[in-house]
Structure 1
Amino acid sequence: MEQSGAVIAEHVAAEDAAAEARRMQAAVKQLHFGEGEEMKLSAVAEIKKVAAGDAQRKRRMAALGVIPPMVAMVVELKDEHRRRLVVETLEELAHGTFKNKALIVEAGFLVKLGQPMVNSSELQEKQCLAPLLSSLSSLAKTKFPIDATQMLPFLIQILDSNQTTKQSKLACVAALYNLSTKLENIKSIVSSGAVHVLLKSSQNRVGGGGGAEGALSTLSNLMLSETGKRAIADDPIAVEALMEAMAPEDEPKCQELAAYLLMVVAHRSKEQRRRMAELGIVQLALEVALLGSPLAQKRALKMLQWFKNEAIRGHSGPQPVELMSSGDSSTCERQLRECKKAVRRMVKQSLDRNMEVITRRARAPEDFSRLKTLAATSSSKSLPC
């Protein structure tokens, strides 16, 4: 009986596979030889369904030559919704398959970005490109040649708009991060105006913090070149944006990255050090040194060494003499007089928070989700050991 059931199941699976193959062949034939826009779009919709979630079917579709005609359709189609269907199908085919991403680029998709669809002034049309561009940008992490300059204008425009959705912004940040992993792209990224837009994104806390972390990670990659360091250090909102990103206690990765970037900015620019002092870098660094992650604490303490009167002579960072000569000594002295008060105040606040957590734990019912919430609160707020 069991053997009979297994035979039936195997027979059903074979029939399903055969039906799937027939659907695939019919869709491919219709895409290549169908007459009229409607037939081709129907084939594209079927290809999207058949390819969904199956890497093997995606590779087989690409091997049957569906990518070049769809890339051509992106430019040829005049209707926004129809173009979007084609772009979404290309995105589906690209997802999870290096070969298909390479085939899309080789078919000239990036070159065609400058043609009618992308030249449209409609931001909504451009936003549908973001996930596909993000997927294709991962090729930058490989040896496959990909021209960042063809993507950058669209990524920057989408990311910089207040009307762009969070999902599109996150996709653009991910694309910029991927492109920034290749050193030869950094000059193009900086020239595109990405630094200022990324600094703004680190302030906006896009997507619950994910966008901010991605933006800061991309800026950290740009710091690997002299061009990137100069662009970040010279940007007029660099200090404000990075100090804002360094403040939240519940985003340790953002704290760590922002602290690193602030260290580089402080080291390179006396004017920016003066700005940091005016905006309260000493008190912020004290708070992070007490309540931040271990790496954020280490970096905050390093900055405190640079900004206090007892800074060690010969350190590579800004020295007290430099600070005096730059005209911000009075600001630093005033802030340093408040250090002891700030430390006492933050220690008391931390102890009060810990006591409140302990009290809530003692009264809380034995509910796993409640305990998990309390544990998360305790771990993010406690003083470091």
Structure 2
Amino acid sequence: MATASMKRSVKQLHFGGPDEKAAAAAEIKRIARGDLRTRKSLAELGVIPTLVSMILDSPTVSPGRKIAIEALLELANGTFTNKALMVESGLIAKLPNIFNTLDSSTQEQLANLLLSISSLANTQHSIQPHEILPFLIKILNDRDTDDEIKVKFLAALQNLSIKIETTKLIVSSGLVHALLSFSVNKRTSKEALATLSNLVLTSVGKKAIENDSMVPEIFMEIMAWEGMPQSQELVAYILMVIAHQSAKLRKKMIVLGIVPLLLEVALLGSPLAQKRSLKMLQWFKDERQAKLGAHSGPQSEVFGISNALRLKGESSEECERDVRKMVKQSLDQNLKLIIRRGDLSDGCSMIKSLVFNSSSKSLPYC
């Protein structure tokens, strides 16, 4: 229920001069912090279109503009209805016209607001991708844009990319290559990889990622990172999807040294990264021993380690002996790596847990 002070601030926002509007926006920002019911009541009193107008129509240098953005951020908290009202008021459609006229701190606040609104993509409310995507792409491709703003825009792009129609627009815009470049930057990696993990679930996105000249080398580079578990998990997921039915890509990954890298992640990575690495190791196991079922991995032209070794003209027994030798060397190297990185007892416990508590199916190389 609207209080007297709330009604007074709303009236001042609607009918006051520039300074009065700025003061009213500051008061509405304060009131909106209260609870969800208050935020909905303020929206019912019509403050959102007026605040959007303050952002879009204010002079370049205007304290009221930044306060209006902050008020909308509070009003957007926890309510899709209020976010939808912001879209209906023209904020998204007209945002590209004013963004570059703002100072960096105001741009960052507006990026936060856009990120909040982008969560509408996963609801019954709609955001027209053709209205916002060209703007996002332009900002992401601008070398002068601060990384913090790009992180917010990448996170917004991740939200938008869950829709198939948006995925097609992203791929057709040529943004996949840029996303791959962002993924190798540790400041923007997580958001870029999260977007790529959405794109890879569609046939057009998967094809664009798989055919990029940076793949799979860039993903293998990220898998070798330390202290970035989420990026490691996401890149392992993407590799699983693109390699699942591509014998050519799996062969290339083997040549580039994916097996020792997967072994390292299986020993040192997060639980989820370990699980995904072990799954891929199962795929690369000798196809005669792997006995892949209908749903356990790639079905066409499995290119295992033994296949790669046989290209050198080795017999089956020699091949198996070389496989065991290579895996033993990799495990020895990783054990030394664990000892160097941390406490020996912790490392040994991890090895024992992986080796002795895992079935032969979940740990293909043992």
- 1:198 counterpart = 2:179: yes
Amino acid at match of 1:221: N
Specify the alignment match of 1:342 in structure 2.
330
TM-score of the two chains, using structure 2 as the length reference: 0.76
Amino acid at match of 2:213: P
Q: Is the Cα contact below 8 Å between 2:122 and 2:159 reproduced in 1?
A: yes
Specify the alignment match of 2:126 in structure 1.
145
Q: Secondary structure at the match of 1:145?
A: coil
The structure that is helix-richer by fraction is: 1
Equivalence map 1:1-385=2 (5 Å): 21-35=3-17, 37-82=18-63, 83-115=65-97, 117-118=98-99, 120=101, 126-160=107-141, 164-165=145-146, 167-206=148-187, 212-248=189-225, 250-267=227-244, 272-273=249-250, 275-307=252-284, 315-316=298-299, 319-320=302-303, 338-350=326-338, 355-356=343-344, 384=354, 385=357
Alignment partners' CA distance in 2, 1:380 and 1:94: 45
Alignment partners' CA distance in 1, 2:154 and 2:241: 22
Give 1:226 shift.
Answer: 0.7
Alignment partners' CA distance in 2, 1:289 and 1:321: 18
Give 1:220 shift.
Answer: 1.8
Alignment partners' CA distance in 1, 2:96 and 2:190: 30
Amino acid at match of 1:199: L
Unaligned runs of 5+ in 1: 1-16, 359-376
Moved more, 51-60 or 273-282: 273-282
Q: Secondary structure at the match of 1:199?
A: helix
Amino acid at match of 2:259: V
Unaligned runs of 5+ in 2: 293-297, 313-318, 358-366
Alignment partners' CA distance in 2, 1:194 and 1:164: 16
Amino acid at match of 1:316: Q
Amino acid at match of 2:203: E
Amino acid at match of 2:202: S
Q: Is the Cα contact below 8 Å between 2:76 and 2:83 reproduced in 1?
A: yes
Amino acid at match of 2:303: P
Q: Quickly say closer, same or farther: Cα 1:133–1:352, change in 2 above 3 A.
A: closer
Give 1:324 shift.
Answer: 7.8
Give 1:90 shift.
Answer: 1.6
TM-score of the two chains, using structure 1 as the length reference: 0.73
Give 1:309 shift.
Answer: 5.7
Percent identity, aligned pairs only, is: 44
Q: Is the Cα contact below 8 Å between 2:267 and 2:351 reproduced in 1?
A: no
Give 1:243 shift.
Answer: 1.6
Q: Quickly say closer, same or farther: Cα 1:96–1:382, change in 2 above 3 A.
A: farther
Q: Secondary structure at the match of 2:190?
A: helix
Q: CA RMSD in A?
A: 3.8
Specify the alignment match of 1:4 in structure 2.
none
Alignment partners' CA distance in 2, 1:140 and 1:27: 32
Q: Quickly say closer, same or farther: Cα 1:121–1:317, change in 2 above 3 A.
A: farther
